Chain A
Amino acid sequence: MMSLRVPAPSSFNLQRFNSRALERRWKLGRDCLISFSPSFVENRIGFRVRSTKSEMAPFTAAEEETLPEGLQPELMPKHVAVIMDGNGRWAKNQGLQPWDGHRAGVEALREIVELCGKWGIQVLTVFAFSTDNWIRPKIEVDFLLSLFERTLKSELETLAKNNVRISIIGDSSKLPKSLLQVINEVEEVTKNNTRLQLIVAVGYSGKYDVLQACRGIAQRVKDGEIEVEEIDEGLIEQELETNVTEFPYPDLLIRTSGELRVSNFLLWQLAYTELFFAQELWPDFGRNGFVEALMSFQQRQRRFGGRKS
C-alpha cells in the first residue's frame, strides 16, 4: 500500500540534470528494468538499463540460510502480512520521482520474499493496492498497475523455479484485461508450488472481503443450501478471499513508515494478529527491519483472551 503523500507528476524538471540526482537514478536503475510511459519519453533522457541481476538468487534446500542470532525456529510466524507504506515519501526524500519509489519498493519486496522462503515462513501477504488508492492521479495508478504487470511477467520464471505459489486477492473488476490475463497465467503456473505462498492484495479492502463473503453466503441461503441460523464464523472464514491458503490468519502484521493504522487491510483475519509498526520507509525496510520485527514477535505472549498460567 502506498502513502498518499505523493505530488502529482510535474512537467520537465531541470533538477533531473543535477549530477547527484542522475547518479542516484543510475544506481536505482542498475538492478531493475527502467521503462518509460510514452507521454514522458520526450521529457527525459532515454535512459534504459536492463540488468542481469533482476532475478532472485534461487533458494534451494542446500542453501537454506540459518536464522540470524536471536531468532528461534520454533517461534517463527507461519503467516506474515505486510503493508508496504512509504515509497512516495522515500522518493521525495531522495529527490526522485514517485515511480522511482515504487520501483525501489519492488526491490525491497523481492528481498523480503527471498528471506521468507529461506526462513520457513509459509505465507506472505502484501498490500500492494487498496480500494482507497483508486483516487490517486490516473498516471500514478496506471504506472502502478503496469509495474505490477511487468514485475509478474519478469519474475514468473524465478518464482516457479523457487517453488513459490502466487495468489492475487481483491476486487479484480477494475483491473485492465492485460493484467488479469497475466494474473490468471501466474496463478495457474504456480498453483502447485509449496515452499512459500505469496498473496498479493490488489484492489483489496477488508470490508470488501467480508461483504463478498456475505454475498456468497446469501446466495447459498437463497439456493436453500444453508439456513440463516447456521451462519457462523467458520462459514464466513470459508467464503473470505484468504481461503486460498491453509493459514488465512496472519500471526504478524508489519507496517512501515511509522503510520499507526491498518488502513482497511485484512479485517476479519487480523483479529489476533500481533502488530508491528516500523519507522523506516518501505524501500529502506530490508533484512534488518524484518529481523527486528520477527524478534519483537517472538517475545510476545499470545493469550487469545485466556490466561497464561
Chain B
Amino acid sequence: MSSGISQLLEQIHEFSRRCLFRVISVGPLPIHLAFIMDGNRRYAKKRGLEDGSGHKVGFSALMSMLQYCYELGIKYVTIYAFSIDNFRRKPEEVKSLMNLMLEKIKSLLDKESIVHEYGIRVHFIGNFALLSDQVRAAAEEVMEATAKNSRVLLLVCVAYNSTDEIVQAVKKSCTNKLVEHSEGRDRDIERIQLVNIEETMQMRVAPGPDILIRSSGETRRSNFLLWQTGSSQLFSPDALWSEIGLRHLVWTILNFQRSHSYLEKKKKKPL
C-alpha cells in the first residue's frame, strides 16, 4: 500500500516537474551546462557517514541532475570529476576515488544504465597518460559503446586541468605548423592563429558553457575550463554537491534567462 502511495507521489512529482520545465522552456535555455561537483567529503562529515561514501552520494546526485538536464533538453553537460591537482591528495583517497570511478564507469556499460535510457553519449576529457590502464580502458570502452547516442553529450573531465589542456593544444598546434612548414604549405609557423589552437583542444567537441555551476559556495574555477568559460555565467550556490537539487537548477536557469540577451550580444562580438 505504502509503495503504491510512494509511486503515486513520485508520478505527481514527475508530472509537476515536467510542467515546471515546460514553463521555463518558454524562455531561452542554456545549451551547455558545466558543473564543479564540490563538497562531497564535507557532506559525508556533515551526515556522519563513513569516509568515501560522500562521493557515492555525489554520484547519485549527478544522475538526478543528468535526468533533469535531459528532460529540459540541454544538449551538453560537462562535469569536473577529477583534477590533476587532486593527485596530490593522500594516496588512499586517490585510490578509493579511482576505484569508485572505475566502478561507476563500468556501470555505464549496463544496458539499463541512464546513458542508454536517455541516449547520452559519453566523452572523457583529460590527460589519459596519468590514469591507470584499467580506468583508461574502461573509459575508452564506454566512449565506444555510447558513440551512436546523440540526445545529450556528457563530457567527463578526468585527470584534467585547463592549463594542461592548453599546453597540449599548444604543443599540437606547433607540431602541426612544423609539419605544414616542412611540407612547404605554410611559411610562417610562428603565425599560429586562434583557430589553430582551438581546433586542437580536447573540449572542441562542444561549444563554450553557457553556465558554470560550482557547489559548496566556493567562488573560484580551480583550473576548470578557463579557455571556454570566458563569457559563461558563474553561479556558486552554498549547497554541497549532494544537496544540489531541482530548485538550484531552476533558479540558475531563471537568472540566466534574465541576462540572456546581453550574453547573446557579447557572443557575437569578434575577439
Residues of A within 8 A of B (CB): 4-5, 131-132, 134-135, 205-208, 210-211, 214-219, 221-222, 228-229, 231-233, 236, 259-264, 267-268, 270-277, 300-302, 304-307
User: B68 interface residue, CB < 8 Å from A?
Assistant: no
A132 to B162, CA, bound (A): 23
B146 at the interface (CB under 8 A from A): no
Please tell me which one of the listed residues A4, A206, A276 contacts residue B230 in the complex, with CB atoms under 8 A apart.
Answer: A206
- Interface membership of B85, Cβ < 8 A: yes
In the complex, the answer to whether B231 meets A211 with C-beta atoms within 8 Å is no
3 smallest A-B Cβ distances: which pairs? A305-B85, A264-B230, A219-B190
Does B218 lie at the interface of the complex (its beta carbon under 8 Å from any beta carbon of A)? Answer: yes
Which residues on B sit within 8 Å (CB–CB) of A218?
173-174, 177, 189-190, 192
Q: How far is the CB of A108 from chain B (nearest CB, A)?
A: 22
**A261 in contact with B170 given A4-B265, A135-B269, A271-B222 (CB within 8 Å):** no
Query: Is A214 a contact partner of B170 (Cβ separation < 8 A)?
Result: yes
With known contacts A206-B230, A222-B190, A261-B232, A268–B166 Cβ distance under 8 A = yes
Q: Which interface class (under 10, 10 to 19, 20 to 34, 35 or more) fits B?
A: 35 or more
- The answer to whether A272 and B222 have CB atoms under 8 Å apart is yes
A-B contact count (CB 8 A): 139
Q: Does B191 contact A (CB under 8 A)?
A: yes
B residues in contact (CB < 8 Å) with A: 41, 83-86, 88-90, 93, 161-164, 166-167, 170-171, 173-175, 177-178, 189-194, 197, 218-223, 226-227, 229-235, 259, 262, 265-266, 269-271
Bound form: Cα–Cα A270–B230 in Å:
11
Cβ–Cβ < 8 Å partners of A232 in chain B: 167
Q: Which residue of B lies closest to A221 (CB)?
A: B174
Chain A residue numbers with a CB within 8 Å of B223 are 271-272, 305
Contact B89 A260 (CB under 8 A): no
Interfacial chain B residues near A4, Cβ < 8 Å: 262, 265-266
Whether the Cβ atoms of B89 and A267 lie closer than 8 Å is no
> Which of A131, A268, A270, A306 makes the CB contact (< 8 A) with B85?
A306
Question: Chain B: which residue is nearest A226 at the CB level?
Answer: B174
How far is it, in angstroms, between the C-alpha of A205 and the C-alpha of B266 when the chains are bound? 13
Tell me which of A132, A218, A264, A272 has the highest count of chain B C-beta atoms within 10 A of its own C-beta.
A218
Which of chain A's residues have a CB closer than 8 A to the CB of B86? Answer: 305-306
Q: Using Cβ atoms and an 8 Å threshold, which residues of chain A touch B197?
A: 210-211, 214
B230 cross-chain contacts in A, Cβ below 8 A: 205-207, 261-264, 267
25 contacts between A and B (CB under 8 A): A131-B271, A132-B269, A132-B271, A207-B230, A214-B170, A214-B197, A218-B174, A218-B177, A218-B189, A222-B189, A261-B231, A261-B234, A262-B234, A264-B231, A267-B226, A271-B222, A272-B222, A273-B221, A275-B220, A275-B221, A275-B234, A304-B222, A305-B83, A305-B86, A305-B88
